[in-house]
Amino acid sequence: MNFFRFIIGSIKIILQGNKTYYAWLIFLLLLILWGGFGYLGQLSEGLIKTHMRDSVSWAFYIGNFTFLVGVAAAAVMLVIPAYVYNWKPIKEIVIFGELLAVCAVIMCISFIVVDIGNPLRFWHMLPLIGTMNFPSSMLSWDFFVLIIYLLINSIVVTYLLYCTFYKKEYNKSIVLPLVLFSIPMAVAIHTITAFLYNALPTRIFWNSALLAPRFLASAFCSGPAILLILFQILRKTTKFEIKDEAIWRIAELMVYAMFIYLFFTIAELFKEFYSGTEHILYWKYLLFGIGDNKEIIVYSWSSIIMGFIAFLLFLIPKTRKNFLTLNIGAVLIYASVYVEKGIALIIPGFTPDVLGQIYVYTPSMTEIRTAVMIFSVGFLLFTFLSKIAIAIVFDDYNIDSLNQKRKRK
């Protein structure tokens, strides 16, 4: 009963808002509709509406999935520096980090659902009622850890908000172990996602031990970029207090991550290009194209250039401490990692294919619309959840405000 009233309170929060809020909601709903009709076409005619074919059998969808696993992981890993450097609003950082993680994992699972040929048979993957191939298949592992991660984060964040809503002190012996457990789980979801690709000896482009470390490093670039911007918005519009130093510190940590990512990639490139075996083909396709097939290099180079600019902006103290250039850098690194994970990671795994044939892949309109649909749903969910969190945590929206309103009526 108590929980029911918490839900009622939360629904009331998301229904109230100013014009900008409603405009934002309508904008997202329009995008969902536009994307949704694209996805309907795929549902009725099959994945033939995408540009994937037997040669390139995984592409943009699974790339988006991989990117979002990174976002989900990094959002929670940010709790470590918040704790180490003793940033004041640690509870708030945990709440918003975990909310972001919850939304990102839901988007991940959506990208898997739209990517499989028979979404209705999804239950075959579940333990007990289906025949989950555990522990052999890395996909079962990945699904398994993602579900656990989603559960932990939803439980913690709901519990924290619920306690604040009822003006109760939260039970540290429940929250602390769960938060501490969610941190290694964050590492686990991204590592296992890397292993998903890494485990395929025939896909030479992915069969490098550096894949998982590179995944983690790139996640530490893209995930905090979102929170960096979110924290600034919260600071301006609510009572949320976070010092400039803390924001600059996040940026500093992102520079380290970018540097490590760059170093790993250069090590990989050196090995491939200096040894010059036939394995070099995939990197060649990614960076320069093979023969006349150069369609993909737009993606790879735009990702590299955006990444480099962001790296410089974050590296130079003057531009790091200027909020305009800092935010430009955050957007650039986010976009860079998105293109890298979305296209540049997946496609060279399949081109040239295992029999040496080249099928040129770029995403189809249906794939783009479906991705827009999922991202809009994710943003909508994140908007709702943050609005609830802001009202409860910063605007003292609680059980009394719910009761008072009822009395007034």
The residue ranges that bind other proteins (CB under 8 A) are 45-48, 50, 52-55, 57-58, 112, 115-118, 120-125, 128-133, 136-140, 143, 199-203, 278, 281, 349-350, 352-357
Q: Is 290 helix (H, G, I), strand (E, B) or coil?
A: strand
The residue (of 20 and 202) whose beta carbon lies closer to other proteins is 202
The residue (of 65 and 375) whose beta carbon lies closer to other proteins is 65
Q: At what angle do helices 211-237 and 323-339 cross, to 10 degrees?
A: 140
The residue (of 6 and 111) whose beta carbon lies closer to other proteins is 111
CB of 356 to other proteins, least distance (A): 3
CB of 271 to other proteins, least distance (A): 18
H or E stretch at 395: none
Integer Cα distance of 42 and 39 in angstroms:
5
CB of 196 to other proteins, least distance (A): 8
The residue (of 135 and 409) whose beta carbon lies closer to other proteins is 135
CB of 43 to other proteins, least distance (A): 10
CB of 121 to other proteins, least distance (A): 5
Integer Cα distance of 296 and 5 in angstroms:
52
The residue (of 86 and 202) whose beta carbon lies closer to other proteins is 202
How many C-beta atoms surround the C-beta of residue 54 within 10 A?
9
Decide: residue 354, CB within 10 A, 0-12 exposed, 13-18 middle, 19+ buried: exposed
The letter for the amino acid at 308 is F
Integer Cα distance of 310 and 308 in angstroms:
5
The residue (of 324 and 355) whose beta carbon lies closer to other proteins is 355
CB of 215 to other proteins, least distance (A): 17
The residue (of 4 and 123) whose beta carbon lies closer to other proteins is 123
The residue (of 42 and 222) whose beta carbon lies closer to other proteins is 42
CB of 6 to other proteins, least distance (A): 27
Integer Cα distance of 125 and 215 in angstroms:
25
Q: How far apart are the first and last CA of the chain?
A: 21
Integer Cα distance of 246 and 24 in angstroms:
29
The conformational region for residue 242 under phi > 0 = left, psi -120 to 50 = alpha, else beta, is beta
The dihedral built from the CA positions of residue 113, 117, 118 and 123, taken in this order, carries a sign that is negative
DSSP 112-142: HHHHSS-GGGGGGGSTTTS---TTT-HHHHH
CB of 164 to other proteins, least distance (A): 35
CB of 247 to other proteins, least distance (A): 40
The pair of structure tokens assigned to 381 is: 């969910």
The pair of structure tokens assigned to 7 is: 């839900």
CB of 71 to other proteins, least distance (A): 22
| 120-142 exposure pattern, b = at least 16 Cβ within 10 A, e = fewer | eeeeebeeeeeebeeeeebbbbb
Q: Is 293 helix (H, G, I), strand (E, B) or coil?
A: strand
Query: Which residue intervals of 16-167 are DSSP H helices?
Result: 19-45, 60-77, 79-84, 90-115, 138-165
The residue (of 2 and 133) whose beta carbon lies closer to other proteins is 133
The residue (of 201 and 209) whose beta carbon lies closer to other proteins is 201
